[in-house]
Amino acid sequence: MTDAMHIILDETAMAAVGKGNVLASRLIHRAHAEPGWHLYAPACALVEADRARPGTAEHLAALPGITVLDLDLSASVAVARQPSWGPAHCQHAAQPTPDRPDGAIVATTDPQRWHGHPVRVLDLTP
């Protein structure tokens, strides 16, 4: 295990940022201010968040502590097999990679939606 924290924002967490969710704001602050904290916005989830709350994509992409994850070939294959692209891209991004050997945690305001999925969840419900 590494000391780094890797956190994936799902579309509910992204929308919560725009609504002033204090827990989401703390994650953004830590990712910007503390070494070893990494916050990711998968592109497909970012699109879904922006559809639900217009302006979310531009807002999150402008924040210095957030890395937008592109839809590369392996993510495209994983997403194509699922009915909803946002959660599928988040789940794919949370899996271990050479950059994130321990995988990542999915931050959400709807933890029940991840029940039965192979991801660790961080509940941002206030």
Global pTM reads 0.93
Mean pLDDT of the chain: 93
Mean pLDDT in residue range 23-51: 95
Helix then strand then coil, in percent of the chain rounded to 5, is 45, 20, 35
pLDDT of residue 18: 85
